[in-house]
Amino acid sequence: MADVSREVVADGLGYLEAARWHGGALWFSDIKHRTIHRMAAGGGLEAFATVPARPSGLGFEPDGSVLVISMEDSRLMRVRDGELEEVADLGPVSHHPNDMAVDREGRAYISQFGFDLFGGGPPETTGLLVRHPDGRIEAGGEGLTFPNGVALSQDGRTLVTAESFSAPRTRLTAFDVRDDGSLAGQRVFAEFGSPQEDVVDGICMDAEGAVWVGCPFAGEFRRVVEGGTVTDTIAIPTDGGNYCVDCVLGGEDLRTLYLLVADTDVVRLGNDWDSTARVEAVRVDVPGIE
């Protein structure tokens, strides 16, 4: 990737997560401002919906309906005609649900903190949740330390999640997706540095099955292939708290990598999601997923 010139395409936002490309537009959640945003490829930011209990993970059902994780009340919600309706109460089966990927059948793969991140508790292992269109919720994976960003491959047969605080090294963990949507074949996709220095956060997959991952503490977005080889790096100076939070491939040819970058830190995030954020864009060689 010879040209890594970055362009700021949106600014003055709060704390952003869940970057998605859908229907010719960039979507993301502003957790601080309790808003889901949509932005067309040519610009023009629109506040799509308000989520009072703070939005995070986003996904789209087969009919185009928007699904969102409502973080503070641990619910999976649907946005319909600008209004929220409950799809599932995740409270009894989760600990702070966070990000989400939704497949073409409408299954929602949901990550969760698994412990009290801002309360200072030690990390505890947990798993993913799989919410099926018929309402069933089942566990997927085990022994995951803060599964965070989650993404599906182009064929829907592989799922990857970023374990933000796994030790002694943070990692991406992959699963095979069975025909019935359940997860099997848990394995390490890639490993990075220590959780004190190299946290991994939001992810997306490209058409070749590689993963772009945001690394907040390192101030980098990295493209990594299964096995751990990093093929491309986009460095953003960390002076001033520039967290590299999440990313997604989009644009007319799916070769624009949208970067969610925040000026914050862990202490500030624990203070009512104190943050300012922007969206940047950079051109890459390998396209994203339709």
Asked if residue 217 belongs to a domain, the reply is no
Calculate mean pLDDT across residues 157-172.
Answer: 96
Helix (H, G, I), strand (E, B) or coil at 266: helix
Checking if the pLDDT of 175 tops 80, the result is yes
**pLDDT-above-70 percentage for the chain:** 97
Q: 286 lies in a domain?
A: no
What is the structure's pLDDT at 124? Answer: 84
> Span 250-268, mean pLDDT?
93
What value does the mean pLDDT take over residues 63-67? 95
Residue 219, domain member (yes or no):
no
Is 277 part of any domain? no
Q: Is residue 58 part of a domain?
A: yes
215 part of a folded domain: no
Residue 1 clears pLDDT 60, i.e. is over it: no
Which pLDDT value is given to residue 2? 45
Give the mean model confidence (pLDDT) for residues 27-37: 97
pLDDT score, position 239: 65
Beta strands in 54-157 (DSSP E): 55-60, 66-70, 75-80, 83-89, 97-102, 108-112, 125-131, 137-145, 147-152
Q: How confident is the model at residue 123 (pLDDT cuts 50, 70, 90)?
A: confident
Q: Is residue 69 part of a domain?
A: yes
CATH classification of the domain holding 44? 2.120.10.30
Identify residue 126 by its one-letter amino acid code: T
Could you tell me if residue 263 is inside a domain?
A: no
Please tell me whether residue 167 adopts helix, strand or coil conformation.
Answer: coil
Domain extent, residue 105, equals 15-210
If one counts the domains in the chain, the total is 1
Average pLDDT score, the chain: 93
Report the predicted TM-score, pTM, of the whole model to 2 decimal places.
Answer: 0.95
Instruction: Identify the weakest region by mean pLDDT among 42-46, 47-51, 117-121, 198-202.
Output: 117-121
- Give CA separation, 145 vs 4, 93, 168, 199, 205, in Å: 32, 16, 11, 11, 21
pLDDT at 3: 54
Summarize pLDDT for 68-102 with one digit per residue, the tens.
999 999 999 999 888 999 999 999 998 899 999 99
